Amino acid sequence: MLANSDILFKEENEELFWRYWQKLTERESYRYFDLNIKTNIIISKNLSLFHQDKSFIYLSGKEPIAGVLLPIEKGNDGCSVSVGSGYAAAPVFAGCSPKKRAEIFSFVDKIALENDVKKIMFSIDPLSENHYNYLQEYDYLDTSVLVYIIDLGSEDLFNSCRRNHQRNINLILNDKDFAVFYIDKDNASYEIHEEYRELHHRCSGRITRPKETFDLQFEKLKQGQAVLFGLKYKNKNIAYVYFEFNSDKAVSFSAADDPDYDKFSLYHVLYFSAMEYLKKTGVRFIDTGQPSGPSPQFDYYPDSKQLNISLFKRGFGGQFKENFRGIKYFSQAVFEKDAAKFVDGYAKNL
């Protein structure tokens, strides 16, 4: 059993928690950025889901060897460890023995039972070095999906793209009415970042998340962890793509465009320009996120629009990788409800 003296809960000392957390995750991808975790909590609160946070660090001596995110949300089906009703980032380990890992997962179960949690949803970073879904070792139901990873290792990024993508990239690059630009830590512009935020809302047709989360994105950009690419048409900015990166890993985090210009292929050139930029910074792999899986799976039900987005992402040079995910149920009723949703969601594609 874990000794209480070796456990630091985030709610007990948040400053120290983040100090240990950053040490544990210094080479991890965007999923583990402290500002992203704080963003997730803001979104959870904005959706009136946030209940409490039981995240903790496990210490061996004075060294952190495990970090576990346990945001607890409360929805119609009771409490769950989740983020916006979706998956929380799976625990990170540094030098943990198999026995100690098992003890940590048993402690997570104990916290869940004490707080009437009905299910825990964890997602393992697809850019991590995990080669299998270790969550299954601790009785999690496998809900993994494929994610498309762009590989920047090619000497010729342009020729690594699908031929139709090459054509669409050239159409924009050879049209003098268009110009690609970007902002990063060296030319950070809050005004342009605000324009991206406003376009994001217009593109979505609604305010999708609080302004505070966009301000945190801008902080990451100023810190050198992000870049915002934009496309200008006749002196009007009409599309943006925001990427976050750390070490040799990056993610296409968010995109927005002006619906008045949807007759143009806007995103091909933005992705390609970002690929060239990120390669120069030392990034090797870009996680394109979801939707990028090609078919429905348990707890993944893409519609036709999402499948088209997935097809677009696969036009850049790369390959599928498994995004290991798992759900652990503590309620038969909640499991049966999710299983019925799977039957309904999958049957629509038969």
Which helix (H) or strand (E) segment holds residue 128: the answer is none
Instruction: Work out the widest C-alpha separation in the chain, in whole angstroms.
Output: 66
- Are residues 101 and 93 in contact, defined by beta-carbon separation less than 8 angstroms? yes
User: Dihedral angle at the C-alpha atoms of 134, 306, 200, 147, nearest 10 degrees?
Assistant: 30
Which helix (H) or strand (E) segment holds residue 292: the answer is none
| β-bridge partners, 230 | 181, 240
Q: Give pLDDT, residue 2.
A: 63
Q: Give pLDDT, residue 123.
A: 96
Q: Give the DSSP letter of residue 299.
A: T
Q: In one letter, which amino acid is 233?
A: Y
At residue 241's C-alpha, the angle toward residues 239 and 246, to 5°, is 165
Q: How many other C-beta atoms can be found within 10 angstroms of the C-beta atom of residue 335?
A: 16
Closest to 129 (Cα-Cα) out of 94, 82, 103, 81: 94
| Rounded CA separation 145/33 (Å) | 23
In the chain the beta strands, taken as DSSP E runs, fall at 7-9, 50-53, 56-60, 63-68, 71-75, 78-81, 88-89, 92-93, 117-123, 141-142, 145-151, 178-183, 226-233, 236-246, 249-257, 285-287, 318-323, 325-329
**Main-chain dihedrals φ then ψ at residue 45, nearest 5 degrees:** -65, -40
Q: Give pLDDT, residue 187.
A: 97
**Main-chain dihedrals φ then ψ at residue 330, nearest 5 degrees:** -120, 10
Closest to 234 (Cα-Cα) out of 251, 258, 204, 203: 258
Per-residue pLDDT of the chain (350 residues; tens, 9 = 90+): 566 668 999 999 999 999 999 988 887 777 888 888 998 999 999 999 999 999 999 998 888 999 999 999 999 999 999 999 999 999 999 888 899 999 999 999 999 999 999 999 999 999 988 889 999 999 999 999 999 999 999 999 999 999 999 999 999 999 999 999 999 999 999 999 999 999 988 877 777 788 999 999 999 999 999 999 999 999 899 999 999 998 899 999 889 999 889 888 999 999 999 999 999 999 999 999 999 999 989 999 988 899 999 999 999 999 999 999 999 999 999 999 999 999 987 777 66
- Are residues 117 and 85 in contact, defined by beta-carbon separation less than 8 angstroms? no
Q: In one letter, which amino acid is 236?
A: K
At residue 110's C-alpha, the angle toward residues 76 and 64, to 5°, is 110
| Rounded CA separation 72/51 (Å) | 6
Domains of the chain and CATH, by start: 4-144+324-347 (3.40.630.30), 149-322 (3.40.630.30)
- Are residues 203 and 210 in contact, defined by beta-carbon separation less than 8 angstroms? no
267-281 helix and 163-173 helix, angle to the nearest 10 degrees: 90
Q: Which residue has the tokens 């690594």?
A: 160
